[in-house]
């Protein structure tokens, strides 16, 4: 165990030294929904049998990478006064792997695995929002 901790410490120190030596700088910031909507947006979303498709539009002057989408499958009971005990609601993060040039959009499709269950006691309400992205500054 001690050897593993020493190896991890040496690896972390090496990684930090290499990061300092490189010319790449990375920064993270938390943005409001309003600010995010000025940079990137999801549009033309369709949902069929749980499969979510749409496009991500880059509204900024810089390329975007690794746009992360939050896809929420919220379960709505047919009888909200007597909901069941097995709520199949779920949320997933889906990353759009393509780089999106300024002013352009890319298509995406997410297929849940396993597929969503079809049940008579309710239905899914699906929403998609931007959870994160990388803005490329050259």
pLDDT at 7: 42
User: In this structure, what CATH number is given to the domain that contains residue 74?
Assistant: 2.60.40
- The structural domain count of the chain equals 1
Looking at the domain assignment, is residue 46 inside a domain? yes
In contact, 76 and 27? CB cutoff 8 Å: no
Q: Is the peptide bond before 114 cis (omega within 30 degrees of 0)?
A: yes
Side by side, the strands of the sheet bearing 51-58 are 40-48, 51-58, 105-110
Q: What is the mean pLDDT of each run of 10 residues along the chain (138 residues)?
A: 41 43 60 88 97 98 97 95 91 97 98 93 96 92
pLDDT at 25: 56
Beta-bridged to residue 70, according to DSSP, are: 93, 129
Tokens of 51: 């499969």
Looking at the domain assignment, is residue 36 inside a domain? yes
Domain span at 67: 31-135
pLDDT at 70: 98
pLDDT at 26: 61
Looking at the domain assignment, is residue 124 inside a domain? yes
pTM of the predicted structure, to 2 decimals = 0.76
Looking at the domain assignment, is residue 21 inside a domain? no
């Amino acid at each position: 165990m001690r050897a593993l901790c020493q190896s991890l410490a040496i690896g972390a120190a090496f990684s930090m030294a290499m990061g300092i030596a490189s010319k790449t700088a990375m920064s993270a910031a938390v943005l409001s929904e309003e600010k995010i909507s000025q940079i990137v947006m999801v549009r033309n979303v369709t949902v069929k049998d749980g499969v979510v498709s749409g496009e991500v539009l880059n509204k900024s002057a810089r390329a975007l990478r690794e746009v992360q989408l939050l896809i929420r499958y919220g379960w709505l009971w047919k009888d909200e006064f007597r909901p069941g005990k097995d709520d199949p609601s779920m949320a997933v993060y889906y990353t759009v792997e393509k780089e999106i040039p300024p002013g352009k959009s890319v298509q995406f499709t997410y297929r849940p695995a396993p597929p969503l269950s079809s049940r008579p006691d309710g239905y899914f309400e699906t929403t998609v929002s931007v959870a994160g992205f990388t803005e490329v500054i050259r």
